Amino acid sequence: MLKVGLIGSGNIARKRHAPGWQKLAGQAIVTAVSDVVEAAATEAAGLFATDGAAPTIYTDYHQLIREAEIDAVDICLPHHLHADAILAATAAGKHILCEKPMCIAIEEADRIVEAVDRAGIVYMSGHNELFYPAVAGAKELLDRGALGTPFILRSHEFPTGYPASAVPGRPAEGTMMVGWRANRATMGGGVLIDKGYHPTYILLHLAGAEPVEVTAMGGTYVAQMDGEDTALVMVKFANGAIGQIFTGEGFAFPANDAKFHAIGERGEVYGNRYDLYEKPRGFAEPSRRSYPVEPVGNQQTFDATIHHFYDSIATGRRPIQDHRDGRRVLQVILAAYRSIEEGKTITL
Ligand SMILES: NC(=O)c1ccc[n+]([C@@H]2O[C@H](COP(=O)([O-])OP(=O)(O)OC[C@H]3O[C@@H](n4cnc5c(N)ncnc54)[C@H](O)[C@@H]3O)[C@@H](O)[C@H]2O)c1
């Protein structure tokens, strides 16, 4: 039985991670939870309470890591605390599943890579959208080589859940970019390192090549936050392929129709979350594969992430995305920030 400590008991921990762990009952158990806000930790602990047994509550995650009887931690903290929690858990020999981003500075990422390698623990980057069936299907097609090496790629993510706005072209008030997300010091940037993190790891995953150059533009147009609320990023890969990432709060309507697109020498593949289109070169129409739509938002991607983390520990197999993948995604995002600031292409 894998014993798990939940670090950070906010929105994503309670709404998405908790149901994922609950589905692993019998194989894994959350024995400790923590949040600096005790009420949040208590609420999270209530989700795991079984007859007579509930997880121990900690308001200090360092104490949880030191004292709780756990094999692994699941980190769901604001971004600026990720590196501290990861390094503490690594030093204590705990396996780690961490929400995106791995951390917010490349020096932190380097320390994490070195520490995780030395400790020999399993580190999994919580890149949950790779488990959307259409994204996983596209990767499988590309890996099989049926379409050749992709040379043009695109990936994007925009808001999905805003209520209708009173002002056309402006998001309604429901933007999530409030609290620690609106503060550059705790967010590590703006929308690109949060919502835009997903299309970034999807693009790199589908490209299957090393990113070598980044050129970006961005700005703050509609949300009240320190960082950018909209970003457009171009990536050049070592094999000559080029890719584009587009993200932001600036789109006031659900614009996630074609979430990703990859074009190779022998054809192309594109889709969103549950629909995958494949069009070999020379064909007039694509074939379409539709997967069952998850009734609870994107819950299945979190269930799959947590299950995959468990399997990686149980089997010793490398997780789909580890600490090096976390570093690579961050490196592209930080290069994009430098490119926006300096108005030039950044070589990685
Ligand atoms: N994969 C996804 O689709 C997805 C979606 C949303 C959030 N996330 C990620 O999950 C993480 C958390 O985001 P959220 O939306 O749940 O934020 P949140 O603000 O709802 O939750 C963060 C929690 O951390 C707690 N916290 C703050 N400082 C702390 C400290 N020093 N010690 C212990 N707890 C502390 C807060 O009290 C809060 O309960 C972020 O990394 C975010 O990017 C991922």
Q: pLDDT tens digits, residue range 217-265?
A: 999 887 888 999 999 999 999 999 999 999 988 776 556 666 999 999 9
What residue ranges do the domains of the chain occupy? 2-127, 129-297+304-347
Q: Is 197 near ligand 1, meaning CB less than 6 Å away?
A: no
According to CATH, the superfamily of the domain at 129-297+304-347 is Dihydrodipicolinate Reductase; domain 2 (3.30.360.10)
What is the band of 113 on the pLDDT scale with cuts at 50, 70, 90?
very high
Q: 155 alpha carbon to ligand 1 midpoint, in Å?
A: 24
Mean pLDDT for the stretch of residues 92-99 = 98
Q: Identify the CATH homologous superfamily for domain 2-127.
A: NAD(P)-binding Rossmann-like Domain (3.40.50.720)
* pLDDT tens string 24-47: 999 999 999 999 999 999 999 999
Name the least confident of 134-143, 215-224, 260-269: 215-224
pLDDT band at 79 (very low <50, low <70, confident <90, very high): very high
Over 114-131, what HEC string results?
HHHHHHCCCEEEECHHHH
Classify the phi-psi angles of 46: left when phi > 0, otherwise alpha if psi is within -120 to 50, otherwise beta: alpha
pLDDT tens by residue, 298-328:
999 999 999 999 999 999 999 999 999 999 9
Distance CA 301, CA 38 (A): 28
How much is the pLDDT for 212?
A: 98
pLDDT(345) > 70: yes
Q: How far is the CA of 79 from the centre of ligand 1 (A)?
A: 8
Between the CA of 77 and the centroid of ligand 1 the distance, in Å, is 4
Of 270, 310, 277, 273, which is closest to residue 295 (Cα–Cα)? Answer: 273
pTM for the model stands at 0.96
Q: Name the 3-class secondary structure at 32.
A: strand
Q: Is 305 in the pocket of ligand 1 (CB under 6 A)?
A: no
Residue 169 has pLDDT above 80, yes or no: no
For residue 298 the two structure tokens come to 């994107």
Is the pLDDT at 173 greater than 80, yes or no?
Answer: no
For ligand 1, whether the C-beta of 275 sits within 6 Å is: no
Question: What pLDDT is recorded for position 255?
Answer: 60
Question: Mean of the per-residue pLDDT values for the chain?
Answer: 93
Question: What is the predicted pLDDT for the residue at 253?
Answer: 57
Is 70 exceeded by the pLDDT of residue 4? yes
Confidence of residue 163 (pLDDT cuts 50, 70, 90): low
Please write the tens of the pLDDT for every residue from 48-66. Answer: 987 668 999 999 999 999 9
Give the pLDDT mean for 204-221.
96
Please report, rounded to a whole number, the percentage of residues in the chain having pLDDT higher than 70: 93
Q: What is the pLDDT of residues 183-193, one digit of tens each?
A: 999 999 999 99
Q: Do domains 2-127 and 129-297+304-347 have the same CATH topology?
A: no
pLDDT at 203 exceeding the cut of 80: yes
Ligand 1: does its nearest atom lie under 6 Å from the Cβ of 36? yes
| Burial label, 54 (beta-carbon count in 10 A; 0-12, 13-18, 19+) | middle
